[in-house]
Structure 1
C-alpha cells in the first residue's frame, strides 16, 4: 500500500499509458515519479525517438537504471537514435553486465561508432564480459564487485567498502582475494560491523563460499543462488581466479528465461527470443512450423495402424467410439510424466542415475492410474458395446496409460543421456508417440479378444 496517501505506482503507470500518442515523450511528472521498471515498461510502448527524449531529460544515474529495464528490442532501437556522445555517457553509467549485454545486441556498425567514445577500461571490460559464450555464467556475470584483502582489519575493510560503494553492484557481500585474485572467502557488511575493529578479515570471513565456473551454464549459478540463499555467487575462471559475480536479480532473470524456454519447448515450439508482442508473423511461423511438420509425418503411423485393422473395425464399429478417448488418455498420462521429469531434471531434483528407481515407481503409479481409469471407461463400454467391448476398452486403457507414462518418464532421461535438452520431450511429441502406440495396442487387443 502506498504511504501518506500517495497514488499507487501501478495506477500511475496505467494512467500514463493513456497518453494520446506513442510518438510524444512522457510527461515530466511520470518520468520522475515512476519506478524505473514501470517507466521502462511505458517507454517500451513508445517510439524510439520519444523514449530517448524522455530518458535524456533524466539524471544520468536514473537514466542508466531505467535503460537497463527496457526490453532488448527497445534498447537497440533507442541506441540507434541517441547521439553518440550521449549514448557513450549512458553506457558508461550502466552496470557492467548490462553494458556487455547491450554491446552484444548492437549491430557491428553501431559498435564501431560507439567504441571510440568509451574509456579504454570500459572497452576492455566489455570485451572480457562479451567473450564468454551465451548461456554461460560468464555471460551473465558482472565485474563490479567489492574486494577486500585478508590482512585488513574490520575497521579498514568498512572504510574500503565505503570507497568502493559507488561503483559496485553490491557491498552487502565482499570477496576476500589473495594477490593472484584467488577467492579465499566472503564476508558480509554485517559481519564487519559487528566484529571488533582490530580483528583481521581473515578471521571474520567465511572460507567455504560456493562458487561457479565461468564456462558452466548460467542455470547452475541460478541454482546455487537459490539453494544457498545468496545475494550473489562468485564466478571463477579456468585458473581459479575470480572474474565476477552473478547477482540474485540476474539469477532470477536466468531462471525465468530458462523456464520460458522450457515452456516453449514443452509446447512444441522454439524460443522466440523477443517479447511475444514484438514478434513478427515470419518469426512466429519459423519458430512453430518445424515441430508441426515433423509431427504431421509422425502421425502417419497412427493412420497406418488404423488401416492395418480395417477388418476388426468393420466387424466392431463400436470400437471407433472409444478410439479418441483411449489415445488421448495415453497422451495425457505421458505429458504429465514428461512435465514432472523435465522439471525435476532442470532443477537438479532428479539425475540420470535415478532413472531405474523412478521407472519402477512410475510403473506402479501408472498401473494404478490405468486401473482406475479402466474401471470408469468399462461402464461406457458396457453401455455402447456390451461386455466384450468393455473388456477390450478396459484392458487397452491400462496398457496405454502404462505405455504413455513410461515413455513420458523415459524420454527426458534419454535425451539428457545424449546431451540434449530434456525439455525437447514436448507434450506434442509425447502425445504423438502415445497416439501411434495407443492405436496399435487398442486394435491388437481388440483383434485378439474379438476376432480370435
Structure 2
C-alpha cells in the first residue's frame, strides 16, 4: 500500500496535525504519531521539515516506524532513511517483510547499504546488534585543531561527539579515546595524543552479550563503548542510550514472562484481541494442568481428610506460604543472574544459603500459625477438637518443611533453566507457586500422618 493512493483530504489533515503540534518536543510528537494510523503518520512526516522528521524516525519510541516507511513513496523514504542513523535503519528493516525490506534497501546509497547490511548480520542482543557505525575517529598524527575542525564538520551525522576515537595511522587499529572535554582544553597545535586518556581503551567484541555491554558501560562510567574486531579495528560504538532502550525492552519481556505469560512483543493497547488470547492462553492452560496435580494430591489423601476435616482449614495457608517463599527466592535469583552477581556455577552456594533461610522463615511462619491455633482455641473463636495442640504442631512443622522446599525450589529453578539455555525469567511466579502447591500438600499430609497418627488419623 502506497500513500499516493490516499485521497487528497488526508494532506489537509496532515497540515492540520503539524499546525496543531507546533511547539511540541520531539518526544511529544512521537507520542502523537503513535496514536494515529501509519498511513496518516507517513503523510505528516513527509510534509515536515526533513531534519525534524528524521529526528522523529530516529527515536525507538516511534513504534510504528516500519509501517510508516513501508507506505511512503520511495523518494520520501529514501530522503528520510539517508539522514537516519544506520543502527536505527537496520532495526527498522529487520522488522519488515522481505519485499518491503528489499524495496527500501534499494533506495539507500552504497556506503550506507554496506554499513547497514553489516549491522543486520549480527545476532540480536549482542554488541554488534545494538551498535552504530556513526562515530568520530581521527588518526594519531592529527593535531587538536585538526580534530576540532573535523568534529565541526561531521557532528550532525554522528551518533555522539562526546568521545573521539584515535586510530593508528598505518593499521587503523584503535589506540586511545579522547573525551570532548579534554579535546577543547588542549593546545591547538598539540598532537591529539597529548589529550588522550591514559592506558588501553575499554572495548567490547561484536558478539558480547548486551547484558555484559551494559555492565562494562556502568563499571567504567562510559557514554559510549567502542566495539572492535580481533585485530583491534573499530566496528562501531554502543551508546548508553542504546543500552537503556534495549534493556527496557528486555525488562518488559521478562516482567511479562515472570507474570506467567508469553512476552507480548507490542505495547498493551496495540496488540489485538486474538493476539492477547494466544499469548496468555497457553501459559494459563499449562498452569491449570499443573494445578490439576494438586487435586490429584488431595484425592490421594481423601481418607485422611475424611478423618480429620480440621486439616482442610489450613490448606490455603500452607499452599500460599510455600508459593510465596518460592516466588521470593525466584525473584531474587533471576535478578542476581541478570546483574551478573551470580553465575551458573554458584548454584550450590545459593542452595546452602537458601536452606537455612527457608528453615528460619518457615519457623517464623510456623510459630505464627501455631499461635493462631492456640489463640483461637483459647478465646473460643473456633474449636479444633481435643487434639488441638497436635494440630498446631502439625501446622508448625509443615510450614517449616514447605517454606524450606519453596525457597530451595524457587532458587534452583532459574539455574536449571539457564543450564538448559532457557531464559531464567521463564521461571514465572505462577509456575513456581504451582510447583510448590503440589509438593506442599504432599509435605503437609505426610507431616500430619506422622504427628496425628493414632489420634485424629
After superposition, the C-alpha distances for 1:83-129 in whole angstroms (9 at most, x for unaligned) are 11011101111111111111112222222322333211121122111
Contact 2:202 2:226 in 1 (8 A): yes
Task: Structure 2: state its 5+ residue gaps.
Answer: 1-9
Contact 2:34 2:62 in 1 (8 A): no
Contact 1:222 1:254 in 2 (8 A): no
Q: Distance in 2 between matches of 1:38 and 1:145?
A: 27
Q: Distance in 2 between matches of 1:153 and 1:80?
A: 45
Q: Distance in 2 between matches of 1:198 and 1:439?
A: 79
Change (3 A) 1:253 1:71: closer
1:400 aligned to 2:402?
yes
Q: Distance in 2 between matches of 1:32 and 1:87?
A: 23
Q: Distance in 1 between matches of 2:396 and 2:40?
A: 65
CA offset at residue 218 of structure 1?
2.1
Change (3 A) 1:129 1:198: same
* RMSD of equivalent CA atoms: 2.0
Query: Which residue does the alignment assign to 1:24?
Result: 13
1:95 aligned to 2:85?
yes
Q: How many residues align?
A: 431
Using structure 1 for the length normalisation, give the TM-score.
0.90
After superposition, the C-alpha distances for 1:378-430 in whole angstroms (9 at most, x for unaligned) are 13333352111111011111111111011111111222233222111111111
* Superposition map of 1:52-67 within 5 A: 52-67=42-57
Contact 1:40 1:70 in 2 (8 A): no
Q: Distance in 2 between matches of 1:431 and 1:356?
A: 22
Q: Which of 187, 192, 211 is the aligned partner of 1:196?
A: 187
Query: Which residue does the alignment assign to 1:184?
Result: 175
Task: Structure 1: state its 5+ residue gaps.
Answer: 1-20
Query: Which residue does the alignment assign to 1:15?
Result: none
Q: Distance in 2 between matches of 1:24 and 1:380?
A: 68
CA offset at residue 448 of structure 1?
1.1
Query: Which residue does the alignment assign to 1:347?
Result: 339
After superposition, the C-alpha distances for 1:334-367 in whole angstroms (9 at most, x for unaligned) are 1011001101100112222333333222222222
SS across alignment from 1:278: coil
Q: Distance in 2 between matches of 1:421 and 1:169?
A: 32
Q: Which of 271, 275, 282 is the aligned partner of 1:279?
A: 271
1:370 aligned to 2:379?
no
Q: Which of 121, 127, 145 is the aligned partner of 2:135?
A: 145
Using structure 2 for the length normalisation, give the TM-score.
0.89
CA offset at residue 238 of structure 1?
4.4
Q: Which of 435, 438, 443 is the aligned partner of 1:436?
A: 438
Contact 2:60 2:245 in 1 (8 A): no
Q: Which is worse superposed, 144-153 or 412-421?
A: 412-421
